[in-house]
Chains A and B, each alone.
Chain A
Amino acid sequence: MSTTPLPGIGVQYDLTTREHRHLSVIAHRDGTRTVNVYRADDPDACAQALHLTEPETALLIDALSPGHHSPNLLSTTDLGLVAERIELASTSYWNGRVLGDTRMRTETGVSIVAVLRRAQAIPSPTPDFRLAGGDTLIVIGTREGVETAAAILGRT
């Protein structure tokens, strides 16, 4: 898997399969995705380019993810890591404060992978990302870490 930035458009992720077929996914800045399959006679050119909206992408991910058929995107891994959804109350202390202020990584060691807000996901929020009541944070860490994180985020 390699990534190429496409300035002004988004980011391209390339994958070459074991059968030497090449496919790529372009993450557009508006959250949509394009899935490209390349031609056999001209490996530089797309034979097919499928443009998917966010809900379509989510459905496709679900269909592709191995071993489970439930639409829950989080599952516990075998490595002792836990992924949790933590929702911010509208009366939360963090409403309107930036993510860096929570000192989450220092305090608990968990990573905040994404924030879900109004039917869109913001992946890898930066420390200057401003939280709002009603946000759902997706955190990954140890069991204790995630519990501490939930306590911190539950502050009102």
Chain B
Amino acid sequence: MHLTAHVTTQVTAHPAVLLSAESQSSAHSSAVFLIEFGAIILGLGLLGRLAGRLQFSPIPLYLLAGLAFGEGGLLPLGTSEEFVAIGAEIGVILLLLMLGLEYTASDLVSNLRTQYPAGLVDAALNALPGAAMALLLGWGPVAAVVLAGVTWISSSGVIAKVLGDLGRLGNRETPVILSILVLEDLSMAVYLPILTALVAGTSLAAGSVTLAIALSVAGLVLLVAVRYGRHISRFVSSDDPEKLLLVVLGLTLLVAGVAQQLQVSAAVGAFLVGIALSGEVAEGAHGLLAPLRDLFAAVFFVFFGLHTDPASIPPVLVPALALAVVTAATKIATGYWAAKRAGVAAKGRWRAGGTLVARGEFSIVIAGLAVTAGIEPSLGPLATAYVLILVIVGPLTARYTEPVATWFIRRRAARPEAAATAE
């Protein structure tokens, strides 16, 4: 994620900074920075409250806030842009670290063993429409791989919240939904290095070497985590929250940085650290890092919005809508099939499908990689529009797919009878 490479600090464009004398400029720009950054964070907090009141995920609001602040938006920012860029990078790393903490290595391995057909069907049904759309728009193979990822990965965050809100955690289809999410997250560990190599435009040979390194490192970490997770956790373990926070955060950033150097993705490094930590440490770190993750992830969504010009969204609205409709249908089919395979009855199958529709944070993470590398100018806006649609529609399909499907099936079943009685 070379986010910083493409960030231009617009200090010169900022009248307040131009006015200040050279001697006072540093103090003054720090004041401007504090005011700007404080305003962003406060705005996000208020938006988050609004989202809470409306009972839906704050992600779309954060994206919209980013659109409003960014280039061509209402309030272009100046000094805080560089910090926001670094914050966004940390946000991605923390998102993946927390995801890794959620799962134990044995969770991943056992899911992979029992559920891999569902994972394959999920990948085929949901990644292909994205790739096809990119090719249809004539964006080339790299953009196709990016868009495939955007449409493939459901949002674990949104879905876990929706399941809790609807009181469905105990339902028969819930383990099926969760195992699909686990497999998708695990696939990210393979997919992101591939994407990083492609986006960097490395040659096939160099790319294969990178990929081989990435895959062997991921495999090694999984193996070590399954066998020796206890020892790693013991090394990190500390009763004092402050020290635990510093050790876990330091270790994660260090590994993410090394992963970045090796041309694997920083996000994958962070994910693997999360997997390797288990038990007491994972519990403790989870509680400590959640607020940090919330802060920096929000900054990341804003950053993504900042780099998208609102004017570029209307032209891609039609493909985004089409893609949203098609991939909502394919996710429903995926969930239906996976639940059927697990022996869940018809209603539960529809519920599983409807729940999986939401896309969110990881679609934006994937698109972010491509946007900062400058792959295709319309890709960012398309991904933004697509996620905005599905993050809002997802909770609705989770709630209403089953009643609607049941009603349709009943009507179709009733129709022949009605015809028979008419005769």
Q: Which residues of A contact B (CB under 8 A)?
A: 4-9, 12, 24, 26, 29, 34, 36, 38, 42-46, 48-49, 96, 98, 126, 128-130, 132
Contacts and interface: CB of A to CB of B under 8 A. Distances in A.
Contact of B111 (A7, A29, A49, A129): A7
A26 B234 contact: no
Contacts of A132: 239
Name the residue among B160, B169, B286 with the largest chain A CB count within 10 angstroms: B169
A29 to B, nearest CB: 7
Interface in B140-192: 156, 160, 167-175, 178-179, 181-182
B168 A45 contact: yes
B103 to A, nearest CB: 5
Given A42-B347, A45-B348, A129 B102 contact: no
Contacts, number: 83
Contacts of A44: 171-173, 344-345, 347-348
A24 B173 CA distance: 14
Contacts of B347: 42, 44-45
B14 interface: no
Interface residues of B, number: 33
Given A8-B102, A126-B230, A130-B237, A46 B107 contact: no
A12 B170 contact: yes
Interface of B: 102-103, 107, 111, 156, 160, 167-175, 178-179, 181-182, 230, 233-234, 237, 239, 279-280, 283, 286, 344-345, 347-348, 351
Given A44-B347, A128-B237, A132-B239, A7 B169 contact: no
A7 B107 contact: yes
B167 A49 contact: yes
Given A42-B345, A130-B239, A26 B171 contact: no
B181 A8 contact: yes
A9 B348 contact: no
Contacts of A126: 230, 279-280
Contacts of A46: 167-171
